[in-house]
C-alpha cells in the first residue's frame, strides 16, 4: 500500500497540481511544495505546473470575458458583488490589479473576466499575467517547502507516505482556513 501510494503521487502529483491550480490554487500549491520537501515531487516542476495551471486558467477567463460577454457563465460572474469592485480597481490601477489579482481573495475568477471586458489590451494582460503567475507559483511553492522544513525540524524526519500526506493535508487546510478568514475579515 505504502509503495503504491508513493508511486501514485510521483506519477500523478504534478498533474494534480496543474489541475488544482486551474480550480483553486493556493492550498494545492502549498501542499505540493510540502510534498516536494518530502522528495515526493520536484520543487521546480511543482512551480512550473502551478505557473502553467494558473496562467492558462486566467488567460481562458480573460478570453471568455473578452469574447463571450453575453454567455450565461460570464453573466453569472458579472452578477457577483466583487465584479463591480474589480472593474473599479481595473480602471484605477490596471497593471497593479493584474499583478496582484492572484493574491486577492474572491477575485480569482471574477478578476480575469472583468479584465477581459475592460479596455486592457490582450498582449498587456498576457505579459503581466505571466509575470504574476510566476511570482505566485514560486511564492506558494516555497511556502509549502518551508513548512516542510519547519515540520521536519519539529517532528524529525517524517516516515511513511501516509504520514507525509496527513501532515501536508493539515498544512493545506490550515493555510486555506487562514486565507479564508483573513479575506472574510477584510470584507
The sign of the dihedral angle between the CA atoms of 110, 116, 122, 124 is: negative
Number of domains composing the chain: 1
User: Tens digit of pLDDT for each residue in 19-43?
Assistant: 888 877 888 898 899 889 888 899 9
Q: Do residues 109 and 77 lie in contact, with contact meaning Cβ atoms separated by under 8 Å?
A: yes
Q: Percent of the chain having pLDDT more than 90?
A: 40
Boundaries of domain holding 165 = 3-186
Q: With the C-alpha atoms ordered 40, 43, 46, 50, is the resulting torsion angle positive or negative?
A: positive
- Give pLDDT tens digits for 55-108: 999 999 999 999 998 888 888 888 888 888 888 889 899 999 999 988 887 788
Structure confidence at residue 80 (pLDDT): 86
Residue 143 has pLDDT above 70, yes or no: yes
Q: How far apart are CA 26 and CA 1, in angstroms?
A: 29
Flag whether the pTM goes above 0.85.
Answer: no
Amino acid at each position: 500500500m505504502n509503495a503504491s501510494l508513493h508511486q501514485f503521487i510521483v506519477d500523478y502529483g504534478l498533474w494534480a497540481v496543474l489541475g488544482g491550480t486551474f480550480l483553486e490554487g493556493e492550498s494545492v500549491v502549498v501542499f505540493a511544495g510540502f510534498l516536494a520537501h518530502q522528495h515526493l515531487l520536484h520543487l521546480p516542476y511543482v512551480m512550473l505546473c502551478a505557473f502553467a495551471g494558473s496562467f492558462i486558467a486566467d488567460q481562458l477567463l480573460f478570453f471568455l470575458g473578452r469574447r463571450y460577454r453575453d454567455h450565461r457563465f460570464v453573466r453569472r460572474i458579472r452578477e457577483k458583488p466583487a465584479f463591480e469592485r474589480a472593474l473599479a480597481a481595473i480602471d484605477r490601477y490596471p497593471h497593479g490589479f493584474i499583478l496582484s489579482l492572484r493574491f486577492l481573495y474572491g477575485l480569482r475568477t471574477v478578476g480575469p473576466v472583468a479584465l477581459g471586458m475592460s479596455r486592457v489590451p490582450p498582449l498587456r494582460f498576457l505579459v503581466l499575467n505571466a509575470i504574476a503567475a510566476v511570482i505566485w507559483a514560486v511564492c506558494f511553492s516555497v511556502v509549502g517547502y518551508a513548512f516542510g522544513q519547519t515540520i521536519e525540524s519539529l517532528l524529525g524526519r517524517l516516515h511513511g507516505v501516509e504520514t507525509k500526506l496527513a501532515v501536508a493535508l493539515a498544512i493545506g487546510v490550515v493555510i486555506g482556513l487562514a486565507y479564508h478568514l483573513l479575506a472574510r475579515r477584510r470584507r
